[in-house]
Structure 1
Amino acid sequence: MSHITEKGGGTFQGIKLLLCENPLPPIDQAIAAARSELPRSNYYTEPYSAPLRSLISEQLGISERLIHINAGSELILRQLFDRFGQQVHLLTPTYVLFPEIARHYTETRLSPEKDFAYDLADVVIPEGTTLTVIVNPNNPNGGVFDMASLPELLSRHPKTMFLIDEAFIGLAGKSVTHLVPKYPNLLVTRTLSKAHSLAGFRVGYGIFPEAVADDLNNRNDAYPLARPSQAAAIATLQNEERIQERASQLRLWTEELAVQLRTLGVRTFPTETYFFLADFSPHDASRIADQLRSRNILIKPLNDPVLGPGYMRITTALPEDNRRFIDALREVMSGA
């Protein structure tokens, strides 16, 4: 299963640029909050992570009843695909998990000739589609969709569920959570693994219509999060201004890394996140990745048969690791 390579790289201790992990550690407040809960780990959290649901409800202006919390957003995405994924429409390239867990899918291709930009008003939803998925900002290219056309799409296709995966909304883009109470076919998922640096704590949540939220909550573990995870999530969301400061720093490092790649003749595509797509053509991305791994740098080819063998998604590391990556890449490409 190729989505396994989206995870934490196992025991790999070198530089990792293939993942969408945030290279910055959790904020100090999150670490302190988690640490303070460790001695109380013999006790369950409040049922259904009530304090966290209350905070999310307050910050988003959404009823608590519409909020579902679970141990990471991937689990929530799998639950939604189990319910609605009979015939899925994807905007590709997309998160590698989605084609794997859809029972059947069609696709609208995003074009590199247009820098993977796309007007959602132009999307054609095939007859019989049960679930349309829009990732905003999009993974793997980091671009943002203008969501102004979403209400019209929701109204035009009332029998199709629309899943908006906002995993990276903490970095860029306009959220559509406020539309959920108005549309019974709108699902929004989020995670604290990305902009909020809590990937190892496994905290994800969704904003869903009452019927969907009730179903997921009634069938879910009443205690989905460990006490340290819940505490870290609350502390992080209470310091959102710090998260936004860090997001700006990450985007700066990302652009600096893209500039360095372009000096090596690599084409990079616009992004508003801390990762981007790069085309190494005429070089083969798989061969480059293999040679970099021998230099203790973990990266992977995109392996998209339509785009071809030159593409990689690259996530920024810390600046000193980015410099080591560029130095190693220069050696690899000069000998290719």
Structure 2
Amino acid sequence: MTSKAEKGGGAFRGIKLLLCENPLPPIGEAIEAARAELPLSNYYTEPYSEPLRRLISERTGVPERLIHINAGSELILRQLFQRLGRQVHLLAPTYVLFPEIAQSYTETRLRPEADFRFDLSELEIPAGTSLAVIVNPNNPNGGTFDMTPLPGLLERYRDTYFLVDEAFIGMAGQSVAHQVPRYPNLLVTRTLSKAHSLAGFRVGYAILPAALADDLNASNDAYPLARASQAAAIATLENEDKIRERAATLRGWARDLAGELEALGVRTFPSETYFFLADFTPEDAGEIAESLRQKDILIKPLNDPQLGPAYMRVTTATPEDNMRFVAALRELL
């Protein structure tokens, strides 16, 4: 079993600021679509979630054959790392799952003195790397990469697969999903758990080269999603205009929260998502998190050895809950 650094809190009823969960519920159309499918739950969905695959194909402009759907993107990431994760290169700090499931890995460090920004044209991939991972927008800091240099990297390192994890692409950033058909070493993963507020429905998908997509689809459950999950996903993707409006609201909440922390003397880093990194130096983030838990506020330290003990990723809650969080911090600091 891997660590629970990104897990937990399912039964927690206080304020949760740690899991990158969207504080907004699913849109009304998704809730109604899921509710309509519940009486039909004695029946399977269409094999391989064909209606959802068709819709994703239409929206991304890639052939339906290249799309793999599963119950959450974490499962897909594990499948890809099992196949390709012999030697992985990461842009760190990154999603904590990746170091855990890589058989072996190297890192290019993103630096706080540069606000965790990095020019991908300067990326050097070590010899023997089987899989290079770019998270865009990046987790845990929420910044984006200029993806213009990606085609050059794909051409330069043809023996390396490049996985672009677009879990938060609904918040910001340049998607490269449409480029997958042109490059046999480009993989893109996405989830509807983040900007689309469907974490509890467990819907993820990947856009992959044909051979890899065929492999994952052939070895997967023919019915990867529950009927309610598939219906909620389709309804949400059919209302992307609402998702974009909500994304703007969430970014505003996160900016306001970061400003409140800055006023308390906490350094925060630029983000284009609804979460951001905070440096509580000279305080210990673990001690702060434990004190906050006693006040029914759930958050965890980043625990990145190279950054030290003062870092914490902060996810916006609603404005009201954010003010409770800030008030509790004010007492502690």
User: Residue 280 of structure 2 corresponds to which residue in structure 1?
Assistant: 280
Q: Label 1:251 to 1:57 Cα distance change in 2 as closer, same or farther (>3 A).
A: same
Listed as ranges, the matches of 1:121-270 within 5 Å are 121-270=121-270
Aligned to 1:80: 80
Letter of the structure 2 residue corresponding to residue 108 of structure 1: T
Distance 2:180 2:321 in 1: 41
1:56 — aligned with what?
56
State TM-score, norm by structure 2. 0.99
CA drift at 1:11: 1.3
The amino acid across from 1:170 in the alignment is: G
- Between the two proteins, what is the percent identity of the paired residues? 73
**DSSP-derived class of the 2:148 partner:** helix
Gaps of 5+ in 2: none
TM-score between both structures, scaled by the size of structure 1: 0.98
Distance 1:8 1:204 in 2: 20
Distance 1:25 1:239, change over 3 A: same
Encode CA deviations 1:64-109: one digit per residue, 9 max, x unaligned. 0000000000000000000000000000000000000000000000
Name the CA distance, whole Å, in 2 between partners of 1:38 and 1:170.
27
Q: 1:73 is matched by which residue type in structure 2?
A: S
State the one-letter code of the partner of 2:288.
I
2:38 corresponds to: 38
Q: Deviations over 1:164-210 (max 9, x none)?
A: 00000000000001110010000000000000000000000000000
Distance in 1, matches of 2:136 and 2:9, equals 25
Q: Deviations over 1:242-276 (max 9, x none)?
A: 00000000000000000000000000000000000
Could you say which residue in structure 1 is the equivalent of 2:296?
Answer: 296
Distance 1:204 1:326 in 2: 33
Q: Distance in 2 between matches of 1:11 and 1:178?
A: 38
Distance in 2, matches of 1:10 and 1:24, equals 16
What is the identity, as a one-letter code, of the residue corresponding to 2:15?
I
Q: Distance in 1 between matches of 2:125 and 2:149?
A: 13
For 1:5 and 1:26, the matched residues in 2 are separated by 25
Asked if the contact 2:5–2:96 (Cα under 8 Å) also holds between the matched residues in 1, the reply is: no
CA deviation after TM superposition for structure 1 residue 6, in Å: 1.7
State whether structure 2 residue 330 is matched by structure 1 residue 330. Answer: yes
- Displacement, 1:3? 4.8
Q: Which residue of 2 aligns with 1:318?
A: 318
Once residues 5 and 158 of structure 2 are traced to their aligned partners in structure 1, the CA distance between those partners, rounded to angstroms, is 35
Kept in 1, the 8 Å contact 2:45–2:227? The answer is yes
Task: Give 1:4 shift.
Answer: 2.3
CA displacement at 1:19 relative to structure 2 = 1.1
Instruction: State how far apart, in whole Å, the 1-side matches of 2:326 and 2:24 are.
Output: 20
Q: When the two structures are aligned, how many residues end up with a matched partner?
A: 333
CA–CA separation in structure 2 for the residues paired with 1:64 and 1:6: 31
2:80 maps to a residue whose letter is L
Could you tell me which runs of 5 or more consecutive residues in structure 1 were left unpaired when the two chains were aligned. none
Question: For 1:12 and 1:167, how far apart are their aligned partners in 2?
Answer: 24
Q: State the distance in 2 between where 1:291 and 1:184 align.
A: 49
1:127-166 Cα shifts (integer Å, max 9, x gaps): 0000000000000000000000000000011110000000
RMSD over equivalenced CA pairs, Å: 0.8
Structure 1 position 96 matched with structure 2 position 96: yes
Q: Secondary structure at the match of 1:5?
A: coil
Contact 1:2/1:96 (CA < 8 Å) preserved in 2? no
> C-alpha displacement at 1:10, in angstroms?
2.8
Q: Deviations over 1:40-73 (max 9, x none)?
A: 0000000000000000001111100000000000
Deviation at 1:7, TM superposition (A): 2.9
Q: In structure 2, how many angstroms separate the alpha carbons of the residues matched to 1:36 and 1:292? A: 40
- Deviation per residue, 1:17-38 (Å, 9 max, x gap): 0111000000000000000000
- List 4+ stretches of structure 1 deviating above 4 A: none
Aligned letter for 1:127?
Answer: A
